[in-house]
A = this chain, B = another copy of it.
Amino acid sequence: MVKGLNLATDILGKVNLGDMAFLELKDRLPSPQESVVFNALLVALVEHGITPSALASRLTYLGAPESLQGAVAAGLLGVGSLYLGTVEGSARMLQQASPDASPATELRVIARAIVHDYATRKASIPGLGHPLHKREDPRTPRLFAIAAENGLSGRHVQLMQLIADEFKLRHGRPIPINATGAIGALASELDLPWQVCRGLGVMSRAIGLTGHLLEEMRQPMAQEIWDRVDAEATEHLSRNMEVDSD
């Protein structure tokens, strides 16, 4: 029995992995619409290429191949406040603004206050900006479209968009909503508490990191990364020591 459902008869063969994750977090299975949106949100977080997280997993596997779980865990430990943690940050910002509790006309006012608050604190707004995609993160419009098609684009999504608008008005330059900002908004539409939103990245990244480790078994890169960094550190050290010996 899982959350009141019989695993063998109600779940196995009927429920996909994303829906099972929904069941874990919401104590009920998703509607078909919720299923599409929630799976999309998780899928978007699985694979971001050669991240520090993926590198940490591969380097850990090099020393401890007997413990695949340890190598995945090492990678997950980097899913913190800086990268995927911004899903938590944007969900928190949106949920603490409680847009559902206030009438529709005030959303822009809330957005303006948020942008003002972050500007005053000289803090960056979670979910905005991307080092590469300066104009638009291509995942964001797709995620918002999926939410809209499934009737799940409500006031949290609107508020996220208005925050980006107000940022542009205040700072005189456009800024894209990045994928973690879009995901924070969608998670809020699905009424997932922000406190668990970092967990969305953790779940998904566990899948991506396992994929990286299978690739590392077949096409290793950890040893070469180590060799290069080590060679450079040694060379740097030798140069310093020559200087010292003058």
Contact = CB atoms under 8 A, between A and B. Distances in A.
Contact of A76 (B72, B200, B233): B72
B196 A213 contact: yes
B225 A199 contact: no
Given A16-B16, A206-B202, A230-B49, A78 B72 contact: no
A187 B122 CA distance: 31
8 smallest A-B Cβ distances: which pairs? A64-B80, A24-B211, A206-B206, A63-B78, A17-B18, A199-B210, A73-B73, A52-B59
A97 interface: no
Interface of A: 2, 7-9, 11-13, 15-21, 24-25, 35-36, 39-40, 42-44, 46-47, 49-53, 55-56, 59-60, 62-85, 138-139, 142-143, 145-146, 149, 193, 195-196, 198-204, 206-208, 210-211, 213-214, 217, 221-222, 225-226, 229-230, 233
Number of copies of chain A assembled together? 4
A80 B66 contact: yes
A231 to B, nearest CB: 10
A233 B225 CA distance: 12
A12 B142 contact: yes
Nearest to A147: B13
Contacts of A43: 11-12, 15-17, 20
Contact of A69 (B20, B59, B65, B79): B79
B68 A143 contact: no
A80 B73 CA distance: 12
A193 B65 CA distance: 15
A146 B202 contact: no
Given A13-B40, A53-B63, 5 more contacts: A7-B47, A16-B43, A59-B78, A70-B78, A74-B74
Contacts of A25: 210-211, 214
Contacts of A142: 8-9, 12-13
